[in-house]
């Protein structure tokens, strides 16, 4: 619930607000904490591929580490781990006892040369990484260990807080019995909603029961094969080494049509400038740390009862004033009435910078652009007396 709604139902609840800056939550402390955690993960072993997925999430490819690891995990090493799908088979009501029994059962079934044994070695590594994060940052975290990014993500929430879950492929049917279709990567948007509407289903277990011929009546062969693979727990997205984000953005929600939603261009202009200032500040910090500069700006707007609308603009002059003016001119002009009102109330507004390139490349382009600048055309005295010369904009 939102804080106000929670307080209306429970007046004694204590609600703590995040520190604000420019009228919105200031997440700088969270970003700094995120960097600490990512540094701890990345320094564990160079053979592990780390992909930073968000401010509080990362994917790890442990393949090379497992192949070179000589450690033989024992149950005591993984005492806080749940092996998904075995709890139900043992019919145990006590959660702690269920974790212990599921782990014991799994260890007894695993052979030393099996894929599941590799998962145990990976789980041992994840436990050591979690310990390192705790030692270096004092932050606790949860993890999911499985054969691909999709299953690892889904299993990571099964043993919170401060626990880890191992999900063998044999336990996918168990997991899918309670997994909504829209919780799976790439099914959280229109495709997932379309599947739910067409087949009148809600869960991944129901999707797994559909035949290829049923799917082929509504989707092309590529989508059908992908859906069949996902319904079996198979996915092939690689973990891509990335310790810094692909994009930098900021936004604000304006909930409540009558009270908080933006209804005029003046209101929208104010918030565009606030977001632009935050974005420019973060881009400057990023350039100093990573030596790169963004070339693309994406503006996203959600009007009340409408889908999110996005428009991309080139990012040349990284100043809050220029960004704000470009957004106002190229985006909001078509959504503003003659009296200054917006055509629809805005409930969400965000700016995102992406398509980074090394700063020195942009500096070199700037020098070349100046070198080949078009020369001013000579004018006679009479022209000079009556004309106003404006500098040509360089892009």
Residue recorded with tokens 């701890």: 40
Backbone angles phi, psi at 311, to 5 degrees: -140, 135
Give the helix/strand (H/E) hosting 308: strand 308-314
Residue recorded with tokens 């693979």: 229
CB 350 within 8 A of CB 275: yes
Omega cis (within 30) before 161: yes
Q: Report the SS3 class of residue 348.
A: strand
Residue recorded with tokens 């099996």: 114
* 253: β partners: 348
Whole-angstrom distance, CA of residue 64 vs CA of residue 109: 24
376 labelled catalytic: no
What are the Cα distances from residue 373, in Å, to 53, 130, 141, 208, 368? 42, 56, 55, 62, 8
What are the Cα distances from residue 276, in Å, to 271, 322, 349, 385? 8, 9, 11, 40
Instruction: Please identify which of the residues 4, 57, 72, 193 carries the catalytic annotation.
Output: 57
Whole-angstrom distance, CA of residue 326 vs CA of residue 316: 11
Whole-angstrom distance, CA of residue 224 vs CA of residue 235: 13
DSSP string for 127-176: HHHHHHHHHHH-----EEE-SSHHHHHHHTTTT-SS-EEE--GGGHHHHH
Burial letters 29-40, b for 16+ CB under 10 A, else e: eeeebbbebbeb
Active site residues: 57
């Amino acid at each position: 619930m939102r804080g106000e709604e929670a307080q209306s139902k429970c007046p004694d609840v204590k609600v703590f607000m995040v520190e604000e800056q420019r009228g919105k939550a200031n997440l700088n402390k969270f970003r700094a904490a995120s960097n600490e955690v990512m540094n701890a993960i990345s320094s564990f072993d160079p053979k592990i591929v780390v992909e930073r997925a968000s401010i509080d999430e990362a994917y790890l490819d442990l393949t090379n580490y497992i192949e070179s690891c000589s450690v033989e995990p024992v149950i005591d090493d993984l005492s806080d781990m749940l092996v998904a799908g075995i709890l139900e088979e043992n019919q145990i009501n006590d959660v702690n006892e269920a974790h212990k029994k599921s782990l014991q059962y799994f260890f007894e079934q695993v052979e030393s040369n099996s894929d599941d044994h590799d998962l145990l070695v990976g789980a041992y590594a994840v436990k050591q990484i979690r310990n390192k994060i705790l030692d270096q940052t004092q932050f606790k975290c949860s993890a999911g260990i499985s054969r691909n990014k999709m299953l690892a993500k889904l299993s990571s929430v099964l043993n919170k807080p401060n626990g880890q879950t191992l999900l063998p492929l044999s336990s996918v049917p168990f997991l899918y019995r309670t997994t909504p279709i829209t919780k799976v990567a790439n099914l959280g948007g229109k495709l997932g909603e379309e599947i739910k509407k067409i087949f009148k289903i809600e869960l991944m277990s129901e999707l797994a029961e559909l035949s290829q011929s049923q799917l082929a009546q509504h989707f092309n062969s590529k989508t059908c094969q992908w859906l069949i693979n996902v319904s079996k727990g198979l996915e092939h997205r690689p973990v891509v080494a990335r310790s810094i984000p692909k994009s930098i953005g900021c936004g604000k929600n304006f909930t409540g049509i009558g009270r908080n939603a933006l209804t005029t261009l003046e209101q929208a202009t104010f918030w565009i400038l606030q977001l632009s200032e935050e974005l420019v500040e973060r881009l400057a910090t990023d350039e100093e740390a990573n030596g790169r500069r963004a070339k693309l700006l994406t503006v996203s707007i959600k009007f009340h009862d409408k889908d999110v609308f996005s428009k991309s603009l080139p990012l040349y002059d990284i100043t809050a004033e220029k960004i704000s003016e470009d957004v106002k001119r190229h985006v909001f002009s078509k959504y503003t009435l003659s009296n200054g009102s917006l055509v629809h109330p805005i409930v969400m507004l965000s700016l995102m910078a992406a398509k980074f390139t090394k700063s020195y490349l942009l500096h070199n382009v700037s020098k070349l652009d100046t070198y080949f600048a078009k020369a001013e055309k000579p004018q006679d005295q009479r022209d000079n007396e009556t004309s106003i010369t404006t500098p040509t904009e360089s892009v």
